[in-house]
Amino acid sequence: MKKFINEPDNIVNDTMEGFVNAYSDRLKKVEGSNVIARKAKKGKGKVGVIIGNGSGHEPACIGFVGKNMLDCNAYGGIFAAPGPDTLLEAIEEADNGEGVVVLISNHAGDVINSKMALDMAEDDDFNVAGVILYDDIASAKKEEEEERRGTVGTLFNYKITGTYAEEKHSLEEVVKMAEKVRNNTRSLSVATVPGTSPITGQKMFEIADDEIEIGMGVHGEEAACNMKMDTAKNIAKIMCDKLIEDKPYSDGDELAVIVNGCGQTTYMELLIFFNEVRKYLKSKNIKVYKPGIGNFVTTQEMGGIALSFCKVDEELKLLWSKETDAPGFPKLLP
């Protein structure tokens, strides 16, 4: 394995230490806890928004803590959900008397630990609510949406719900916004090359040299199907069709779009792929609103692209594009 690390046991600590020192003007690590939080004093009346996640997917989700995004990120082990104690510490740090919404990306460990943390927080008289996020259409059938995994589409929620909470809506309203964004979101990924586990040094799965897998999870979970490598244009069409068919997104809609690089896919390819998505959606009379193109949720150096759509109205457009200082979020506005 040729990764720039020290002891594998220290990866999480070393990553956090590098991160909070790089962005010490705005972010901090909560003393004694694997929680990344904003440094600025909290404004009165703002509901907290947090998420816990396994590390190894950077910039997700430490890179999404900041003004108009998350208040805290509870940072777990490599590909492992943070424990309930860490999530509780994130809730405590994010609470400002108005309560905290815990966004939960739908994976078994994240759901179990987040629910335990929510119970513990209620016992401690915090006003809390959890919203489970699921967006990966490859991981369960339509009408079984709640069984689907949370993948890169959760980023719409971190940004839109995060910005909404900044406008000082109530806990119930913030929960409703998170549910609305989730319900408007669908994602699908395609993998070309496996990533390497930074702990074991092993490839995370196998793919034939001339094939790609459609529907791979963010931890290398089994794909829905595989196909021969094809042009960006053809792959974009296949993925758009699957997403449009599921939602459905239809004629006249406007979509915020994420073209997410999974690790080693170049920005050049992301731009070419985005261009094909844009043209195909245009042919369906669907408009793209301020795309996010880059590496947001990675699976180490896995090759591949995750495509995610969120149907947006005027309110959601403003919330999606409003500026944030979260280091991992793109500059959507000039």
Q: What share of the chain is helix, strand, coil (3-state, %, to 5)?
A: 35, 25, 40
Place of tokens 């090359």: 193
Name residues whose C-beta falls within 8 Å of residue 129's C-beta, 6 or more positions apart in sequence. Answer: 99, 100, 101, 102, 118, 171, 172, 175
Cis bond leading into 194, ω under 30°?
A: no
Name the residues annotated as catalytic.
57, 219
Query: In 124-247, which ranges are continuous DSSP H helix?
Result: 154-166, 171-183, 232-246
For position 300 contacting a second copy by CB under 8 A, the verdict is yes
Residues 66-125 that bind a second copy (CB under 8 A): 66-67
Minimum CB distance to a second copy, residue 78 (Å):
9
Separation between Cα atoms, residue 30 and residue 49, nearest integer Å: 16
Piece in contact with a second copy (CB under 8 A), picked from 11-19, 120-128, 160-168, 244-252: 11-19
- Contact with a second copy (CB under 8 A) among 200, 202, 231, 250: 231
Q: Which stretch binds a second copy (CB under 8 A): 62-70, 88-96, 152-160, 246-254?
A: 62-70
Q: Are 64 and 70 in contact (CB under 8 A)?
A: yes
Which residues within the stretch 195-224 sit at the binding site for a second copy (CB under 8 A)?
Answer: 198, 209-210, 212
H-assigned helices in 61-202: 84-94, 108-123, 154-166, 171-183
Q: What is the dihedral of CA 72, 10, 298, 62, to 10 degrees?
A: 10
Q: Using CB under 8 A, which of the segments 20-28, 42-50, 153-161, 244-252 binds a second copy?
A: 20-28
Least distance in Å: CB of 145 to a second copy?
Answer: 28
Alpha carbon separation from 193 to 26, 233, 266 (Å, rounded): 35, 19, 13
CB of 159 to a second copy, least distance (A): 14
CB of 255 to a second copy, least distance (A): 14
Which of 173, 179, 221, 325 binds a second copy (CB under 8 A)? It is: 325
Q: Between 22 and 112, whose beta carbon lies closer to a second copy? A: 22
- Which 243-282 residues touch a second copy, going by CB under 8 A? 263-276, 278
Number of residues that bind a second copy (CB under 8 A): 66
Fill in the amino acid letter for 284.
K
Residues that bind a second copy in the complex, under the rule CB under 8 A: 2-6, 11, 14-15, 17-19, 21-23, 25-26, 40, 55-56, 58-59, 63, 66-67, 192-193, 198, 209-210, 212, 229, 231-233, 235, 263-276, 278, 290-291, 293, 295, 298, 300-301, 303, 305, 325, 327-328, 330-331, 333-334
